[in-house]
Structure 1
Amino acid sequence: MSETDPEIDPEIELESEDEIEVEPESDDFLNEDLTDAIDITSEIDLEKDVPPVDSISQALIPVGEKNKSLVPLDPLTAYLQEIRLHEVLSEEEEYRLAVRFKETGDVKAAYRLITSNLVLVVKIAMTFRREWQNMMDLIQEGNVGLMKAVKNFDPLRGVRLPAYAGWWIRSYILKYLLDNWRLVKVGTTNTRRKLLYNLKKEKEKLESEGHIATTKLLAERFGVDEKEVVDVSIGLGASDISVDSPMKAGGTLTPLDILSAGGSFENEYEEEDLFSAFRALIEELKDSLKPIECQIIEQRLLTNEPRSLREIGEEHGVTREAIRQTEQRLKAKIKTIVSERLPEAADHFTD
C-alpha cells in the first residue's frame, strides 16, 4: 500500500446495541434503512477513511517481475485485485471468528469474516450482470448484504457463512435492481422477484422439453399475468457485461481472469450448500413453531424413514387426521419461505 493509503485501526470499539437482531421471518427487512447494516464496521469512517470509488481508478499497481512499470486500473479491476489479497477462511477459522464476534462483538473478527467473503459477493453480483451495467453498484449493494449477514450469523446452527450470506447478498442486490430498473420499474413484489430469479431458467427448461417459451406459457407456469412476464423480460434484455471480455478497450484482462487466478472459491452454491441453507431456514422456522410441529418436520418431512401419522398422533393424544392437516400446513409454510428466501432451491426442497 502507498504512504497515502488510509490506515484502519481495528481497536476502535464497535458501537453497542441493546440486542442483536435475529434473521427476519419475511423479506420485509428489505425496506429497512440499509445503513443499519454498516454498524458492524463502524470502526471505519466511510466518509473519511475510505477513498471514493473514483479515486481507486487512479491507483498505480506494480506489474512485471521487477515491478518496474506502473499502470492505472479502472475501479472494478482495482477492486478485484484488492479483494484477492484476503484469504478464504477454513471452516474452523470461520467458526472461531463467528463465535468470537457473536459473544464479544469483536470488530476484528467481523472484519475478517467480511473480507474473506468479498469474492463471494462479486461472484453473485456477476450473475446479475445482464440486468445492470455498473458492476460496482451491484457489488456495493452485495457488500451491504454481506455485512448484514455477518451481523446476524449464528455459527451454532451448523451452516457455513457463505451459504447463509448468499441469501442476504442476493436480496440486497435484487432490491437495488428492482428499485433502480433501467428500462422498466419492475416493482418489489415476491412474484416479480421470483420471475427475476427464475424466468431465464424456465425458458431454457421449456425449450429443452421441445416447447416454444411463449409469454402465455411462461405466465401459466409462474401463475402470473402475461404483462408481468413481459415487463421482467424487457429488463432481462438489458445489455450484457461478459465475464470473459476485456475490462478495458485494447486490454486482455477479464473479470474471469482475476476471479479465477486465486483458485476456485470453495463455497459456491452447489447442492450441499443449498441443503445447508435450506436446513438453516428450517431451523429458523422451528423457532416459531410448537414442539409437535417441529417433531412433524423432523420425523415426517426431513427423514428418509418417516414415522406414521398414527404413531405421532397417539404420542400426543390427537387423531391421525389432525397430524395430517398440521403436516399440510407446514408444507405450505415451508414452500412459501423457500420460494421467497431461497428461490434457487425451490425446485429441490418443495415437492
Structure 2
Amino acid sequence: MLKNAKIKKVSAAERQASTEATRDEETGSTNIQDKHQPVSFDPFRLYLDEIKRYPLLSREDETDLAIRYREKGDIESAYKLITANLRLVVKIAMDFQRYWMQNLMDLIQEGNVGLMQAVKKFDPYRGYKFSYYASFWIKAYIIKFIMDNWKLVKIGTTQAQRKLFFNLRKEKERLEAQGIEASPKLLSHRLDVKESEIIEMDQRLNSWEISLDSPLKEDSEDTHKSFLPSDDLPVDDQIADQEAKSILHDKLMLFREQLKGKEAVIFDKRLLTEDPMTLQEIGDKFGISRERVRQIESRLKKKLKAYLEEEIADIDLLQESMIEI
C-alpha cells in the first residue's frame, strides 16, 4: 500500500527558485541575476532545508501513527512517520560517509528506502521505539549500497566477512595513525579473526576490479558473476537478527548490574565470553569446588532466564542468543 502513495517530486532547482522567489517577496527586493554569473548550488543544503519543514514526533504520536497504518493502511500516517524521520537518515548517512567517502546524497537516498521498509515492517505492539527499529533498516540499506559499490566484485558475502569488511579499514587507519605497522598478524589479534581471513579480505579490497558480466573465456557463456558466492541473509532476517541481539545485549547489561561477587565473575567469565574459563579455574580463584561453581552457574542461568522472560515480551528474540539458558 505504501508504494502507491502519491508524493509530488520537485526538483532541487525548482525548490531553490521557489525559495529565492519567496525571500524576494518578503524583503521586497528585486533579484535579477546576471545570466553569466555562476549560480551557487548545494543539493545537500537544499535537501536539509526541505526536511526541516517536517515536524518531529513524540513516541506516543509515532505509536499511534504506526497502529493506524498497520490496522487501517492509512497512507497519510505512513507519510508522517517517514517525513518525521528523514533527519535520522541524514545523521546515519553522514556517519557512514565519513569512513567510506561515498556520495552523501546517494547514501541518504538508500537510507530513505530503508526507512520506508521500516514503516512497512514495524510492529507497534512489540514496544520498541520506531526510530530505534528504523535505524536498523536504514543502516542495512546503506551498508548494502556501500558494499555493492565499493568494488564491482561483491567483497562481503557472509556475516563474518561483512563485519571484517567494515572493521579492517578502520583498524588499519587507527594503527597507522599511531605509527604502528598494520601487519596481518597484529590485525588478526586486534580484530579476533584468523590471519588468513585478514590477508584474503585485504587482497579483495585492493584487487583489480573486473567486469562481472564479462565471459570467463571467449567461447564460454559463463561469467565471473556466476562464480561469486552469494549467501547473504535476506534483509528481513538481518534486521531481525540485529534487533534481537541489540535488545538482548541491553537487557544482559542491566541484569549484570544486579550481580556481585561470584555470580558476577561467573556471568562475565562463563556466560558472556567466547573463551570461557573452566569451572575448575573459577573454583581455584574463589577457593571453592568445581561442583560448587556449577551450582552457582546453574542458579544464575535460572535467574537470567526468569529476568529475560519478564523483560522481553517476545521471548523468541532469544533464539539466536549465544547464551544457552
TM-score (norm 1): 0.52
Say which of 66, 70, 74 aligns to 2:27.
Answer: 66
In structure 2, the partner of 1:109 is 77
Q: Does the CA contact (< 8 Å) of 1:86 and 1:116 recur in 2?
A: yes
In structure 1, the partner of 2:244 is 281
Alpha-carbon distance, 1:153 to partner: 1.4
Does structure 1 residue 94 correspond to structure 2 residue 62? yes
Q: Does the CA contact (< 8 Å) of 1:57 and 1:74 recur in 2?
A: no
Alpha-carbon distance, 1:202 to partner: 3.4
Change (3 A) 1:300 1:164: closer
Q: Does the CA contact (< 8 Å) of 1:219 and 1:229 recur in 2?
A: no
Alpha-carbon distance, 1:114 to partner: 0.5
Q: Does the CA contact (< 8 Å) of 2:155 and 2:165 recur in 1?
A: no
Give a deviation string over 1:117-142, Cα, whole Å, max 9, x none. 11111111112224244222211111
Say which of 48, 52, 55 aligns to 1:84.
Answer: 52
In structure 1, the partner of 2:199 is 226
In structure 2, the partner of 1:334 is 321
Alpha-carbon distance, 1:333 to partner: 3.7
In structure 2, the partner of 1:50 is 9
Structure richer in helix, relative to its length = 2
Q: Which has the larger radius of gyration?
A: 2
Whole-Å Cα distance in 2 between the matches of residues 174 and 98 of structure 1?
26
Give a deviation string over 1:199-254, Cα, whole Å, max 9, x none. 3553466579985433432234241231303544789xxxxxxxxxxxxxxxxxxx
In structure 2, the partner of 1:124 is 92
Whole-Å Cα distance in 2 between the matches of residues 121 and 208 of structure 1?
30
Q: Does the CA contact (< 8 Å) of 2:51 and 2:83 recur in 1?
A: yes
Whole-Å Cα distance in 1 between the matches of residues 251 and 91 of structure 2?
34
In structure 1, the partner of 2:107 is 138
Query: Once structures 1 and 2 are overlaid, which stretch shifts more, 147-156 or 108-117?
Result: 147-156
Q: Residue type of the partner of 1:167?
A: F
Alpha-carbon distance, 1:164 to partner: 1.2
User: Secondary structure, in 3 states, of the residue corresponding to 1:87?
Assistant: coil
Change (3 A) 1:75 1:182: farther
Q: Residue type of the partner of 1:228?
A: M
In structure 1, the partner of 2:229 is none
Change (3 A) 1:304 1:198: same
Say which structure, 1 or 2, has more relative contact order (CA 8 Å, 6+ apart): 1
Alignment of 1:149-168 (within 5 A): 149-168=118-137
TM-score (norm 2): 0.55
Identity of counterpart residues, as a percentage? Answer: 41
Whole-Å Cα distance in 1 between the matches of residues 154 and 138 of structure 2?
21
